[in-house]
């Protein structure tokens, strides 16, 4: 049996992404800017103030169609 939905995606395209990072020492909380519902969010982990910054993250694939297309492109590139 082939459980393809359990296979990790390799070589996902990445881009510089705006995020919010927690300012509290030792807290690793962060959130993508486009997932925040507040102008200046508070950390979901420790409730501290967050600051805007950037991080290189995988581009989010928002639909099954986009995911299937990405996997198809990966297979073509491997040939």
pTM summary value = 0.65
Distance, in Å, from the CA atom of 9 to the CA atom of 69, rounded to the nearest integer, reads: 12
pLDDT tens digits, one per residue of 29-46: 999 998 888 889 999 999
The continuous run of DSSP H or E covering 67 comes out as: helix 64-78
Query: For residue 29, which of 15, 16, 42 has the smallest C-alpha distance?
Result: 42
pLDDT digits (tens, 9 = 90+) for 9-33: 567 788 999 999 999 999 999 999 9
């Amino acid at each position: 049996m082939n459980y393809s939905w359990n296979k990790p995606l390799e070589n996902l395209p990445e881009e510089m992404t705006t995020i919010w990072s927690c300012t509290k020492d030792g807290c690793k909380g962060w959130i993508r800017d486009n997932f925040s519902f507040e102008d200046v969010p508070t950390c979901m982990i420790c409730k501290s103030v967050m600051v805007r910054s950037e991080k290189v993250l995988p581009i989010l694939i928002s639909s099954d169609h986009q995911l299937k297309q990405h996997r198809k492109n990966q297979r073509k590139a491997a040939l």
